[in-house]
Amino acid sequence: MVTTSLRAPQVAAGTRIRTTARRVRRSVAGLVLKAAAGASALTLTTPAAARAATPDSAAATSPGAVPVTASDGVPLHVEVDGDPVAPVTAVLCHGYLADHNVWHFQRSSLARHARVVAYDHRGHGRSALSGTHGLDLDQLADDLAAVLDQAVPEGPVVLVGHSMGGMTIMALAEQHPELFGDRVVGVGLVTTAAAPVNGRAVLPPEVANLVLAAIDRLRLTRVSCRVLRSAALVVARGFAFASRVPPSLVDFVLQLTRSNPVHALVALVPQFLTLDKRAALPVLGKVATLVVGAAHDLTIAPEHSASIARAIPGARLEMIPDAGHMVPLEHPAAVDELLQHLIAQVSGRAVRSS
């Protein structure tokens, strides 16, 4: 394992969790007082507006939709952009209750060096969901195999997964180890885990987002709406990000999760509590593997990234400081650079072997 760090974290994870929990509680209490005093309401922007406010949005290429059908007939939403004749295709797998838009920055960055495929897991974004029976990581891995077969029928592939997307890649390695080596030539695992992930005492962004859904359905007073909406934003900020980010980016995370069905959330939760894909990790040693951790991730502790890297022969571990769970959005330049290096590494091998 090659271990590097952009800067070593200065605060222990446990201390960070306690500090952030206290900050969230104080912030929520403060918001209640401010709202009662007639503070102005926070305005939620749409996902499109949040993306328009990001610096690299103008550089994004226009994606093309590719029809992909899972093995059980469920339609999956897949978008392809980038260089169609690039030696390597990068397939981006998003996390729990997000969708392919979480890779906004990385898609525009990697598209200059590779063909890029981004898709929505079943029950997320614009992909369908045919019931929650059997909705687990193994099913998501089977869906990923369908994306490879139908959207990337030939050529070397780099798989990049954030959070649950990384777990999906590990599940694919467990089911189809033969794919790793010739077909899959590189893997990027971003703030993910191979062992059980424990829940937190404070609600994560996805649950905080349910508060916003309640606001839409209930007839609440203007003041109470401000309190609940502001509280949801504070909780999302505390769990998704560790550094100061624009309010529009916090809202973008909430909007990503808001379109996903609650029953998909409930069905997948046990997968994280009983997760164990450690047996698949040696398979990833057959390819170039990058493991990216977030030093102050309150959703999946950075120790999970370190453990994964130790279990994969030759893996490179990068720990990004001042970063929370949504590090692809919080520190896009750092993540872009790491993934570009991985793409360049395997692209050179692909060209030499062709």
| CA atoms of 284 and 224, how far apart (whole Å) | 50
Amino acid at 97: L
Quick check: is 239 in a domain?
no
Tens of pLDDT, residue by residue over 54-70, are 433 322 334 589 999 99
Sign of CA dihedral 301, 281, 169, 269: negative
pTM of this structure:
0.77
Q: What is the CATH number of the domain that holds 154?
A: 3.40.50.1820
User: Looking at the domain assignment, is residue 64 inside a domain?
Assistant: no
Collapsing DSSP to helix, strand or coil, 136 comes out as coil
Mean pLDDT throughout 331-354?
Answer: 85
For residue 50, tell me if it sits in a domain.
no
Q: Would you state the pLDDT for residue 57?
A: 32
Is beta strand 78-82 parallel, antiparallel or unpaired with respect to 64-65? Answer: antiparallel
Q: Would you say residue 162 lies in a domain?
A: yes
Is the Cβ–Cβ distance between 107 and 99 less than 8 Å?
no
**CB neighbours of residue 201 within 10 Å:** 8
pLDDT at position 184 is 98
The CA distance from 259 to 245, in Å, is 22
| pLDDT tens, position by position, 271-329 | 888 899 999 999 999 999 999 999 999 989 999 999 999 999 999 999 999 999 999 99
Highest mean pLDDT among 19-33, 46-60, 313-327: 313-327
Residue 33 is predicted with a pLDDT of 24
Name the domain count of the chain.
1
Q: What percent of the chain has pLDDT over 90?
A: 56
Q: Which of 139, 134, 223, 147 lies closest to 183 in space, CA to CA?
A: 147
User: Which of the four pLDDT bands, split at 50, 70 and 90, describes residue 354?
Assistant: low
Establish if 204 belongs to a structural domain: no
Give the single-character DSSP code of 218. S
The boundaries of the domain holding residue 278 are 75-198+266-353
Residue 6 lies in a domain: no
Supply the DSSP string of 299-353, one letter for each residue. Answer: SS-HHHHHHHHHHSTT-EEEEETT--TTHHHHSHHHHHHHHHHHHHHHHHHHHHH
253 inside domain: no
DSSP code of residue 101:
G
Q: Is residue 299 part of a domain?
A: yes
Predicted pLDDT at 195: 95
**pLDDT of 137-165, one tens digit each?**
999 999 999 999 999 999 999 999 999 99
Distances, alpha carbon 189 to alpha carbons 170, 192, 212, 265, in Å? 9, 6, 31, 22
Closest CA to 39 of 205, 203, 229, 209: 229
Degrees, nearest 5: CA angle 221-225-227: 120
